[in-house]
Structure 1
Amino acid sequence: MKSRTIQAVCFDVGSTLIRPCPSVAETMARVAAERGHDLTVRDFEPYMPAMDAYYEAEYLRDGDFWCSHEGSTAIWLDQYRYVCHLVGIGHDADGMAGEVHAAFERSDHWEAYPDVLGCLRALKELGLLLAVVSNWDAGLEDLLRGMQLLPYFDEVVSSAVVGYRKPDPVIFDLACERLGVGAAHVAHIGDRPDADGDGASAAGIRPIIIDRRDAETDCPHVRVRTLSDIPSLL
Structure 2
Amino acid sequence: MFRTRRFAAVSFDVGFTLIDSVEDAPEIVTALLAERNIVPDGALLAQAHHRAEQLFLEDYFRPLSDTWEADERILRLYHRYYVQLLDDLGVVASADDAQTIIDRYLAPTNWRVYPAVLNTLALLKQQGYHLGIASDWGSGLPRILHTLGLSRYLDWAVVSGVMGFAKPSPQFYQLVVQRAGVTSSDIVHVGDSYYADVRGAHGWHGSADDRLAPPNLATAGRAADPRPGGPAPTARCDGAYTRVAAQVNLHSLIVC
- Whether the TM-score (by the shorter chain) exceeds 0.5 is yes
Q: Does 1:145 align with 2:146?
A: yes
Bigger mean CA deviation after superposition, 185-194 or 115-124: 115-124
Residue of structure 2 equivalent to 1:233? 247
Match of 1:195 in 2: 196
Is 1:5 paired with 2:6?
yes
- Kindly indicate whether residue 158 of structure 2 is the aligned counterpart of residue 157 of structure 1: yes
Q: Which amino acid letter does the alignment assign opposite residue 76 of structure 1?
A: Y
Q: 1:60 Cα deviation (Å)?
A: 1.0
Give the whole-Å Cα distance in 1 for the aligned partners of 2:217 and 2:147. 36
Distance apart, 1:45 and its partner CA: 3.8
Deviation at 1:133, TM superposition (A): 0.6
**1:5-25 alpha-carbon deviations (Å, 9 max, x no partner):** 311111111121112112221
Unaligned ranges ≥5, structure 1: none
Q: Distance in 1 between matches of 2:77 and 2:46?
A: 20
Q: Which residue of 2 aligns with 1:30?
A: 31
Counterpart mapping for 1:49-60 below 5 A: 49-60=50-61
Corresponding residue number in structure 2 for 1:210: 209
Provide the aligned C-alpha RMSD in A. Answer: 2.4
TM-score, structure 2 length as denominator? 0.80
Q: Distance in 2 between matches of 1:47 and 1:127?
A: 47
Whole-angstrom distance in 2 between the partners of 1:101 and 1:46? 20
AA aligned to 1:71 is R
Question: Which aligned pairs between 1:124-135 and structure 2 lie closer than 5 A?
Answer: 124-135=125-136
In structure 2, do the counterparts of structure 1 residues 209 and 71 end up closer, same or farther at CA, with 3 Å as the change threshold? same
Q: Aligned partners of 1:219 and 1:93: how far apart in 2?
A: 36
Report the CA distance between 1:99 and its aligned residue.
0.5
Instruction: Give the SS at the match of 1:44.
Output: helix
Residues in 2 aligned to 1:57 and 1:225: alpha-carbon distance in whole angstroms: 30
As a proportion of its length, which structure holds more helix? 1
Output the amino acid matched with 1:172. Y
- What amino acid maps onto 1:233 in structure 2? Q
- TM-score, length of structure 1 as denominator length: 0.87
Aligned residues: 227
Unaligned 5+ segments in structure 2 are 220-237, 249-256
Q: Secondary structure at the match of 2:93?
A: helix
Q: Is the 8 A contact 1:77 1:97 kept in 2?
A: yes
